[in-house]
Structure 1
Amino acid sequence: MKPRRTGRGRPKRSLGQNFLVDPNLRRKIAAAVGAGEGEPVLEIGAGRGALTDHLVQARVALTAVELDDELAPELAARYRHDPRTRVVHGDVLSLDLPNLTADWTATRVVGNIPYNITTPIIFKLLASPFPADIVLTMQAEVAARILAGPGSRTYGALSVGVAVHAEATRVCRVPRGAFRPVPKVDSVALRITPRVPQEVDAAAARRVRTLTRAAFSWRRKQLGKILHRHPDLRCAPADVERALAERSLLPSIRPEQLSADEYVALSRILRPAVRPPGRRLR
Structure 2
Amino acid sequence: MALDGKVIAVTGVTTGIGRAAARSFARQGALVVGVGRRSDRGEQVAAALRAEGHSMIFVTGDVTRPDECTRFIDTAITAHGRVDALVNNVGGSGTPTYVPTVDVTPAQFDESVALNLRSAFFCSQAAVKHMRTAGGGAIVNVSSCVGTQAMATQVVYAISKAALDHLTRCLAVEYLEDGIRVNTVVIGGAMTKQSARALSEVAAATHRPVPTAETLPDAVQGTDMDSIVDALAFLCSDASRGVTATAVAVDRARSAGAVFSAALLDALGGRWNR
TM-score by length of 2: 0.44
Asked which structure has the greater RCO (Cα within 8 Å, sep 6+), the reply is 2
Structure with larger Rg:
1
More helix by share: 2
Q: What TM-score comes out, normalization by structure 1 length?
A: 0.43
